[in-house]
Amino acid sequence: MELGSIATAMVTPFDKDGNVDEGRLIALVDFLIQNGSDSIVVCGTTGEAPTLSDDEKERVIRLSVEAAGGRIPVIAGTGSNSTAATVAMTKRAESAGADGIMLVAPYYNRPDQRGMHAHFTEAAGSTKLPVMLYNVPGRTASRLEPETVIALSGVPNIRAVKEAGGDLGAMTRIISGTDEGFRLYSGDDGLTLPVLAIGGYGVVSVASHVAGPEMQRMVRAYRNGDHKEAVRLHAEISRLSEALFSRPSPSPVKHALELAGFDPGTVRLPIMPLDGEGYTIVGQAMSDFRAATGT
């Protein structure tokens, strides 16, 4: 699963009536390619997947693949808390041309580790595509333990994990317990540099919508041994990321995109547009980020 270092968890553009805006979606894929994204993940939380119908998800995946035109990989979020529904959506994503699949840990029904292992094994077995696991206990109320990730890495097409549990110790155990070809990605922008330092490969990012080039500079600086510059950029990206999660996502990043010159439209209920204070927080953060990074 070659996603590069910066995979953007892409927002879904909506028009003023709340429908998927296909024209802006196509334009957004190109915008992200031109601004530092090595790959994109569509139909994830940032893409408001919980509010998309299965038909809308398939259309978003298909359009994103067509817009990318083979320039970067397109990874489709197809996971849910129903194994049967996950398998069905995974098959639709493969038919739509996705380059890979991202499977979130089942939420709400909170299976134990045996149940998670069986769920992911069955879902991965339904496709020939490479699979990225996604651990995000803050959203799912369930935790995919390192030992389960290590065991699942033995499934031939499970090749990566997006780790958003915030536990560097757990991530270290995953990295040390899996083969060299298995890749761990940070699911938190503010942990990208620490994750690189322990042997992680990159980040599935929200901030890269508006900070992709700077994130690429940070990764290059770290890998080239310029740790002072990497730390400086990490601090600025972390401050921006805090603002991008100051209100329920993706309202802040959609406004940040608008400030960066790309209007992705509104959000769908139950997510609300930013309030006045939210606009101020994001606007100030974007201004400070541009001043600090020279962009």
Q: Is 204 annotated as a binding residue?
A: yes
Two tokens, residue 214: 């700077």
Query: What is the CA 66 to chain-centroid distance, rounded?
Result: 19
Amino acid letter for position 171: M
Helices (H), the chain: 22-34, 54-68, 83-95, 113-124, 137-140, 146-152, 168-177, 192-197, 208-223, 227-244, 251-259, 276-293
Given the residues 57, 134, 201, 254, select the one marked as catalytic: 134
Active site residue 134: yes
Structure tokens of 92?
């639709």
- For residue 203, list its beta bridge partners: 6, 186
β-bridge mates for residue 100, sequence order: 75
Phi-psi label, residue 11: left if phi above 0, alpha if psi -120 to 50, beta otherwise:
beta
Question: Closest Cα to residue 75, out of 64, 83, 67, 86?
Answer: 64
Any known ligand binding at 280? Answer: no
Name the catalytic one among 91, 107, 128, 162: 162
Residues 6+ apart with CB under 8 A from 209: 8, 10, 11, 32, 253, 256, 257, 260
Tokens of 61: 């995946």
Residue of 262, 261, 185 whose CA lies nearest to 11: 262
- HSE-CB at 122 with a 13 A cutoff on CA atoms is 16
- Going by C-beta distance under 8 Å and a sequence separation of 6 or more, which residues neighbour residue 280? none
Active site positions, annotated: 134, 162
- Per the annotation, where are the binding residues? 46, 204
- Per the annotation, where are the binding residues for pyruvate? 46, 204
